[in-house]
Amino acid sequence: MTRHICIAQEPEADKLLSIDDFALVVGMTLDQQFPMEAAFKGPQKIAERMDGFDLHKIAAADPDQFVALCSETPAIHRFPGSMAKRIHDLAVFIVDNYDGTPSAIWTEGDPDGKTVLKRLKGLPGWGDMKARIFLALLGKQLGVEPAGWREAAGDYGNDGERRSVADVVDSVSLQEVRDFKKQAKAAAKAAKTG
């Protein structure tokens, strides 16, 4: 199945996300306290500095040198040091636990949605919400639909909504997701003060 990811809103970055599962996992890892399209450009920045994007090369890299590489201007994130460490830890974790194959997280042993969610939550630096959003991304954009994936993804698995990065397929949907998040934040603030 050919996939066409359009989250970074930049052809080369989106091409890498479309062909490399680890790039997609790294983009999701970087998607916090940073604009989502900028987060998903991170793997391309790393690829340009490491002469390609290679999970094994990242896992084998000296952690301090990898932090320095990710901190070069333009940095991969507003917190490049901590995020570089997280990416390095993630690469090592996938090599050690999934034989260097990120897709094994969602395919090994024909898992159901709850199992995939549990595996995603086990990734370094990933919490419940990030795992649910990525599970929704797998189902909505990659055609990875283990039994019960929508239920395991919670509201992020809802069809026809523009709630998270899982729903970003072009610049219009990116803006719709931004609008949704803005409204949700305003509603939460109103509920807190009201």
User: Domain range holding 86?
Assistant: 11-160
Q: Looking at the domain assignment, is residue 2 inside a domain?
A: no
Q: Looking at the domain assignment, is residue 109 inside a domain?
A: yes
**Short-list 102, 8, 12, CA closest to 55:** 102
* pLDDT above 90 (res 92): yes
Instruction: Name the domain count of the chain.
Output: 1
118 with 106: CB under 8 angstroms? no
Q: Looking at the domain assignment, is residue 187 inside a domain?
A: no
Cβ count within 10 A of residue 151: 12
pTM, full prediction: 0.94
Q: Quick one: average pLDDT of 177-185?
A: 90
CATH number at residue 58: 1.10.340.30
Please return the burial class of 160, using the count of CB atoms within 10 Å of its CB with bins 0-12, 13-18 and 19+: exposed
Rounded CA-CA distance 105/33 in Å is: 25
* Token representation of residue 124: 């370094």
Axis-axis angle for helices 42-49, 63-71 (nearest 10) = 110
pLDDT above 90 covers what percent of the chain?
Answer: 90
DSSP, collapsed to helix, strand or coil, labels residue 42 as: helix
Condensed to tens digits (0 to 9), the pLDDT of residues 32-67 reads: 999 999 999 999 999 999 999 999 999 999 999 999
Q: Looking at the domain assignment, is residue 190 inside a domain?
A: no
Condensed to tens digits (0 to 9), the pLDDT of residues 160-178 reads: 999 999 999 999 999 999 9
The per-residue pLDDT for 1 is 47
Q: Report the chain's mean pLDDT, rounded to a whole number.
A: 95
40 with 7: CB under 8 angstroms? yes
The per-residue pLDDT for 37 is 94
Confidence of residue 194 (pLDDT cuts 50, 70, 90): low
